[in-house]
Amino acid sequence: MIHIMDFSILICLILSMASSGSSNVALNGRTTTFNVLDFGAIGDGVTDDSQAFLKAWNAVCTARTTSAMLIIQRKKTFLLSPTVFSGPCKPPQIHVLVLGDITAPKTRSAWGRSSYWLIFQYIDGFIINGKGTLDGQGSSWWPSLYYKQELLNDTNSYDMDDVARPIALGFSFCNNLQIYGLNVINSPSKHVKLFRCNGAILSNLNIKAPKESPNTDGIVIGECSQIQVHDNNIGTGDDCVAILKGSSNINISRVACGPGHGISIGSLGMNGAYDTVEEIHVQDCSFTGTQNGIRIKTWQGGSGYARKISFQGITLNAAENPIIIDQYYCPQLHCPNKTSAVKVSDISYAGVQGTSMTKTAINLRCSQSMACTNIELKRINITSVGQKFVTSSFCLNAHGRASRSIPNLRCLMK
């Protein structure tokens, strides 16, 4: 496997080959490189280079080598229509090096009915990195007719939102995946989504969209395990990171979030579903001007569990709703009362500090029929911005213990 430390020597060789336009060159008899320009890509930002990219991908995927690399030429802007890059591939390792920029069509008519702009699927040992920018050109989608309908749906579940407005960059059924260094901006919908991936690292990503852009989550993880998300800078119109059903052993650290809706687990239990998440750990993350901080959200009427979840070393800078457990999640105008609920347990908050824009800094709204249990909060210090008011907490059927907490948590039951 090519590690980050190996790139300094390798990339110098690659860049010299990229500038000369050469491709299909073996490095040390193991890595074979391909350049999209050699397959007819133009890179003028106007010509659709999708077919050239697919030809290059086919060459990479079928190469008889232990490692194959596809170079996206620097100082070029490649226009791509919605494109699917599929495996399985012959090389045990596939590497896409994004040195140039990639842009989506500006007009919605060019997208067809695609759910994704760029999706990589059924590829193991896949690496994609570089300093290039992937621009989803989402501004034509954000005020779409779908938006009013999306407000009535759960924006972080598998709903019509995923079909109505495409996700910028998707990875499905990819194991041992590495994504780092990229700039991903202005997605029509979610920016980066992982689905049924086992073993992935997402690091040093810059993900940006305007605060007002609807449902433009930064990173969404669904039905995945063994995922590391670290050292990312995310500011969008929705969750910076969202963990969906069926996910386990997810570690999130050193994420700078803002603007956006914070880091969310869920929503879970929509339409009576049995959903589970466990072993989710969020550490050393900051939230600046976000609508929420760290949040767990479930629907009434669902079942399953959200358990073994920790939040540690969290910094809040003028964030709204810093700590939330919401078992009455309902983005619709009306939701019927139901007695069944996802079981929330073994949740810990430690070292959460900073300033809140809202008076209720801690809001633990657990199901009346299914209590939250073993909730632990310690070393909590959340005050108001400018000391304009005294922060408070609210609990409903929440059981656990608290120590050294501002605001106090006398509402927490044993």
Name the burial class of residue 68, with classes exposed (0-12), middle (13-18) and buried (19+) by CB atoms within 10 angstroms of its CB.
Answer: buried
Token pair, residue 99, equals 């040195």
Tell me if 342 sits within 8 A of 365, measured CB to CB.
no
Per DSSP, helices labelled H in 102-225 are 146-150, 160-164
- In the structure, what pLDDT confidence band is assigned to residue 283 with cuts at 50, 70 and 90? very high
Q: What 8-state DSSP symbol labels residue 65?
A: S
Query: pLDDT digits over 215-234, tens only?
Result: 999 999 999 999 999 999 99
The pLDDT, as a whole number, for residue 335 is: 85
Asked if residue 32 has pLDDT above 80, the reply is yes
Name the burial class of residue 281, with classes exposed (0-12), middle (13-18) and buried (19+) by CB atoms within 10 angstroms of its CB.
Answer: middle
The reply to whether 346 belongs to the active site is no
Tell me if 258 sits within 8 A of 281, measured CB to CB.
no
CA 67, CA 49: separation in Å to the nearest integer?
Answer: 24
Query: pLDDT digits over 392-409, tens only?
Result: 999 999 999 999 999 999
b (16+ CB within 10 A) / e for 362-399: bbbbbbeebbbbebebeebbbbbeeeeeebebebbbbb
The pLDDT, as a whole number, for residue 398 is: 98
Residue 17 or residue 186, greater confidence = 186
CA 51, CA 41: separation in Å to the nearest integer?
Answer: 8
Q: Provide the percentage of residues in the chain whose pLDDT is more than 70.
A: 88
CA 129, CA 107: separation in Å to the nearest integer?
Answer: 27
Average pLDDT in the chain: 90
The residue annotated as part of the active site, out of 101, 124, 217, 238, is 238
Token pair, residue 142, equals 């954000």
Tell me if 79 sits within 8 A of 48, measured CB to CB.
yes
Q: Name the percent of the chain in helix, strand, coil, to the closest 5.
A: 15, 45, 40
CA 140, CA 279: separation in Å to the nearest integer?
Answer: 38
The reply to whether 261 belongs to the active site is yes
The pLDDT, as a whole number, for residue 144 is: 63
Cβ-based neighbour number of residue 318 at 10 Å: 16
The residue annotated as part of the active site, out of 162, 191, 261, 275, is 261
The pLDDT, as a whole number, for residue 156 is: 44
- How many Cα atoms occupy the beta-carbon half-sphere of 81 within 13 Å? 15
Nearest alpha carbon to residue 318 among 371, 379, 386 = 386
CA 348, CA 242: separation in Å to the nearest integer?
Answer: 18
The pLDDT, as a whole number, for residue 71 is: 98
What would the mean pLDDT of 25-35 be, rounded to a whole number?
69
Tell me if 243 sits within 8 A of 280, measured CB to CB.
yes
Q: Provide the percentage of residues in the chain whose pLDDT is more than 90.
A: 83
